[in-house]
Amino acid sequence: MIGARRGYGGPGGIDPLLLIGLLLLAYGFFTGSLFAPVRDPVFFVAFVIAIVLGITVHEFMHAYVAHRLGDDTARLLGRLSLNPMAHLDPFGTLLLVLAGFGYGKPVPFNESRLRSSLGVTAVALAGPLANFALAALFAIPLRFGSADVLGDVYVTILRYIVQMNCILAIFNLIPIPPLDGSNVVYGLLPPRQQYSWRTFQQYGPFLLLFLLLLAPRVFSSVVFAPALALTTFLTGLR
């Protein structure tokens, strides 16, 4: 899970991603799903590569597009970088290792500095589109190469990078705060509707948590099924 929060919560408020992370960590503890990602060495290596790469490029592209559109907030904070350490959140990364879900540090931006009327939407879309691009790039050796030449380990790692980036892209496009899809919708709305959408943002984390914990079939059909279908289409592997 990669959050794309842009300043939610307010001064003194609870970080919604942190709240969701704590609740999911408690859920993983009681369901026994903690440490699941580290049980298979090959899977764990593939998982780490896919997540670090996915988060880094995702957040870098948010910062890059904001910079190109006139807002240097992210650049001044050192986020216009492909160094993973600039984008990995300590607790979000710990969650990824322990339970297979987590988040990176969201890239802040100032929408009043963006030159385009669709700047917020462009910045929000940049992260998921970067994940789709990564998925397509790493699918090339699988689509046109030979499994015998690549070897089982490399096939597993490459396929997992493709699959995870598809999942991250589709998940972040869900129009529920604090995900990127929420800002995609916000940037397309007229000013009056934007104000109404902002009032909805405070409830977004709870709706997202409901989908993750109480409606897993809905979540699976919205995120995992399309991601797996896209992975198969890109790699040619079933």
Number of H helices, E strands in the chain: 12, 0
pLDDT of res. 176: 87
Residue 3: predicted pLDDT: 38
Q: What are the sequence ranges of the domains in the chain?
A: 37-235
Confidence (pLDDT) at 209: 76
pLDDT in tens, 47-84: 888 888 999 999 999 999 999 999 999 999 999 999 99
Among 232, 136, 234, 226, which Cα is nearest to 174's?
A: 226
- Answer yes or no: is pLDDT of 89 > 90: no
Rg (CA), the chain: 18
pLDDT band at 2 (very low <50, low <70, confident <90, very high): very low
Enumerate the active-site residues: 59
Is the omega angle on the peptide bond into residue 90 within 30 degrees of 0, that is, cis?
no
Read off the pTM.
0.84
